[in-house]
Structure 1
């Protein structure tokens, strides 16, 4: 349907998002509470203003509930991995091992929260990097709130070409590009991704220590950015589906090399970094003690325990509530994540195996719906490839890790009871939040509210649309939680807008998916994955307050670059 610019309809469509941000950012509501009210307001507006039939509102909400299953599955499995590692008391030796490999605390944070998170996004995606890396960052002494923030920043850059190019393939599915246009779009997108890489690295340094943090981390940012962004640019036009994985892999090698530089073997000059739980130094025979914050301790000011640093004897794992006092090496502590990498690479990167395991699936069809205002949402099918799903890969990893730790004597016979109990307890609030937030997004799409928001922005911006095109992509990822979904939702619209305005299609589409990558840092569903596994459920608003200026600033920068390139 063709819409005339209508400020009232736009404001009404924007109201649920304003309410959501108000409740989470200003009122400090958790995502579960805010999501319920946000969905309710969205449904009422769909019924009254957009005249979506009641059964269609219900249908859209049910569709959202089914789409939520894929996210909730990841949440449950990721929590389970954490609980297994925590019960085995694996985070203390992990902390000491990271100190041995990376002497500089900022490089430790970059290695886990930026490089490893980006690599995981290149292979798995779907929120797994946030769910996995937030607890790992806590394990090296990062405050839980900032552990979530850093993991979200660290995975954002690989949200277009990562996960074997899922978002890029989605963009191609809903647009009509010639081979030349596709190559140009891939290259321009890679350039924007390189900008996101640099911005993310600098942001982590700034959070660590302001301008001093940037000075200390500048060399690392340059090298890692060259690996992540440079490889993406070099390979995007050759094989877009492989470039994200390759860039993440090269970055892993690069950060290992950085650890050998003398400048990153010296102590940091940044004192009292906001990212880190303050270290304490009781009389330990010359060794300092580094706190390992347990999830649930908020910013990490309390609820800490201490382990001997690398200047002391090799790390040993203290007896946890369900574990044993058997010593544990760094490699043993990292077994869950080694296992995850091996399982994921086998399933995702071996074509015959991936093809075989992708066949089992379940699906449910949803008919098209039409509102009283003439908005039509086409029919769709929800498909769940449960064997190759990221949640299954995490679940297999959790089970394998439990068996490994049990046989090595790091877990007692009844440890599984506490592990399952804690997993269920921690999953209740995020399950409610995911269902309501995704349901809110599907109702917005079915009623036409999402279309109104994007269409009116295009109509009102006219010749400056190139500057704002990334905002549409960021908005799409914000409401759907996925850059791929954002591309599927707005890719065709972005191309039509570019053609109608005589703009470069390649420039607008690269802005769409580039902005979508940035939007993944503030997507509520991904934030929930982080706060849940970090044990700070209900703090989603604080995460948004930290990341929103970063996301908006980088997105506007991408718009300026897009306008310049075209």
Structure 2
């Protein structure tokens, strides 16, 4: 390789290398690092690749336009979560789940795997961890295990979850033919099915080692068949409904399993390591005063699932998760205009936002004539072809947004309907929309900036030829084993950016170009990329932080990472192995 080629490759690598250094070495967030990465990519496009200033601006605008469609989903998803949180819907949901599932392992799987998968199908962006970790603590699971279980349980649905935001993001930054698109969707579904099955078995192992696996194996096989089967079937039909429908079917299946005699009998695991000493679900509680095993944080004061409001108190009959027992809980008379206490909300009411989303998406997307009519209003932005001074050409393209059938619109409509219904039922106080909107804006600022800057950076690198140069060299150096390495690129992208979506935005085009340069299957490499990105959510620092915060063990993120990192590395190797052996 001559000096000019080395210089061109080093210049192309600089934006990514700086991004990684700022995020890992300096601890910057994706929003801040992404802004610097875009700036450096733009400067290199101007000076090294001789892209005109107006062309750099055009590629940046193209990235921003593509990012808007993703940000729309993010903001609307967070809005639904804030509505449910403000209505205190998570506390009655937790009580309803513990009544429905008598078997302790099924309780853990129902909340930490099935419900986490369902939430990931709708919301994502850390919401499943923030919700399910404290719910697990509330039924007696040790906080450290609660975070690990939620991370493992939700990971598989990170590609087609959040109404397929990560999958749509990968489509935005890659160029797939209809045939390649269909093949990639099938292969991705099969890989995610493997991850799903491995996640369920891992939770059983954590619960009771080999005995736990044997006890939970029938449920794991049936639930995984539902999750994986629905995902595979819908991969050829509808992106938006895929992860949501799989999560919903999983909920129905686990509810049916709870009625089987096998899961109505007491567990044979007499001292599960995932449960805190003295938990009613364990048959051999540790004597009072005996310390928890080494390395386990005390479970007596986990953080609540939502911040308390001045005019709400937990009812005496069912203290909030983590409230020490042994003394009466004071009962306060709510002031005029205050919402009904959480205990008065039924399980069906607690599930209201998600059942509403099911109805909204079903009506809009499953009724063909209505979907056709609503799909007509679109916003189309055309971008001309761009050619650099070095001869790299990006063809003309069109960005299209179907306003009324977009996933963000479906989520937004669901949030509005849920707010109205909760308000009429008395579960929301007057002007609750203020705190809901405030919480939504606060949570959405960081992801919005991160997505916009990362997509703009990827667009500039793609349009200037930097991605082509990187991909050509990587393909030349690793062509023999790249199918094994591809999933780890996805894991790494999620680790540094915090989401599978951002990983696909950052490395999707790079992976496609590398596959083409190495003569590999584009479908295989891209499916490995997004599956690896899904697995990377188990070690994402931002998601781990959400879990430790809501489970009440802030500062123990390192202990969580030490447990999830080996699982992530092993599962990622398994993802790349089939393609490597068959290739």
**Pairwise same-fold verdict (TM > 0.5):** yes
Q: 1:467-546 maps to which residues of 2 (within 5 A)?
A: 467-470=484-487, 481=501, 489=509, 493=513, 496-497=516-517, 500=519, 505=521, 509-522=523-536
Distance 1:396 1:530 in 2: 30
Q: How many angstroms does 1:116 deviate by?
A: 4.6
Secondary structure in 1 matching 2:414: helix
Distance 1:27-1:37 versus aligned 2 partners, 3 A rule: same
Distance 1:162 1:352 in 2: 23
2:339 aligned with 1:323, yes or no?
yes
Contact 1:72 1:434 in 2 (8 A): yes
2:320 aligned with 1:307, yes or no?
yes
Secondary structure in 2 matching 1:293: coil
List runs of 5+ in structure 1 lacking aligned partners: 298-304
Distance 2:35 2:275 in 1: 36
Contact 1:88 1:324 in 2 (8 A): no
Please give the per-residue CA displacement for 1:387-419, whole angstroms capped at 9, x wherever unaligned.
222222222112111111111112222322222
Distance 2:395 2:110 in 1: 43
Q: How many angstroms does 1:120 deviate by?
A: 6.7
Q: How many angstroms does 1:335 deviate by?
A: 0.7
Contact 2:403 2:409 in 1 (8 A): yes
2:427 aligned with 1:425, yes or no?
no
Contact 1:354 1:388 in 2 (8 A): yes
Q: How many angstroms does 1:561 deviate by?
A: 0.9
Distance 2:398 2:157 in 1: 28
Distance 1:197 1:425 in 2: 32
Distance 1:158-1:219 versus aligned 2 partners, 3 A rule: farther
Contact 1:92 1:292 in 2 (8 A): no
Q: Which of 131, 139, 143 lines up with 1:136 in the alignment?
A: 131
Distance 2:45 2:490 in 1: 23
List runs of 5+ in structure 2 lacking aligned partners: 138-142, 289-298, 309-317
Distance 1:348 1:322 in 2: 37
Secondary structure in 2 matching 1:347: helix
Higher mean displacement: 474-483 or 405-414 = 474-483
Q: Who is 2:43 aligned against?
A: 44
Q: Which of 461, 466, 472 lines up with 2:478 in the alignment?
A: 461
Q: Who is 2:456 aligned against?
A: 439
Distance 2:18 2:398 in 1: 30
Distance 1:203-1:52 versus aligned 2 partners, 3 A rule: farther
Count of aligned pairs between the two proteins: 530
Distance 1:182 1:365 in 2: 22
Q: How many angstroms does 1:36 deviate by?
A: 2.7
Distance 1:544 1:62 in 2: 37
Q: Which of 396, 400, 407 lines up with 2:413 in the alignment?
A: 396
Distance 1:308 1:105 in 2: 17
Distance 1:203 1:42 in 2: 41
TM-score by length of 2: 0.71
Contact 1:343 1:397 in 2 (8 A): yes
Please give the per-residue CA displacement for 1:200-239, whole angstroms capped at 9, x wherever unaligned.
3345557778888767655443332233335656x58986
2:29 aligned with 1:30, yes or no?
yes
Distance 1:21 1:246 in 2: 35
Distance 1:354 1:163 in 2: 20
Q: Who is 2:304 aligned against?
A: 293
Distance 1:272 1:509 in 2: 39
Q: Who is 2:56 aligned against?
A: 57
Q: How many angstroms does 1:270 deviate by?
A: 3.3
Contact 1:323 1:411 in 2 (8 A): yes
Q: Which of 272, 282, 285 lines up with 1:270 in the alignment?
A: 272
Select the structure of larger CA radius of gyration.
Answer: 2
Distance 1:65 1:187 in 2: 29
Distance 1:264-1:446 versus aligned 2 partners, 3 A rule: farther
Distance 1:553-1:231 versus aligned 2 partners, 3 A rule: same
Contact 1:471 1:515 in 2 (8 A): yes
Distance 1:136-1:356 versus aligned 2 partners, 3 A rule: farther
Distance 1:79 1:240 in 2: 22
Distance 1:430 1:172 in 2: 21
Q: Who is 1:451 aligned against?
A: 468
Q: How many angstroms does 1:101 deviate by?
A: 2.1
2:404 aligned with 1:371, yes or no?
no
Q: How many angstroms does 1:292 deviate by?
A: 6.1
Distance 1:307-1:462 versus aligned 2 partners, 3 A rule: closer
TM-score by length of 1: 0.73
Distance 1:223-1:168 versus aligned 2 partners, 3 A rule: farther
Q: Who is 1:193 aligned against?
A: 192
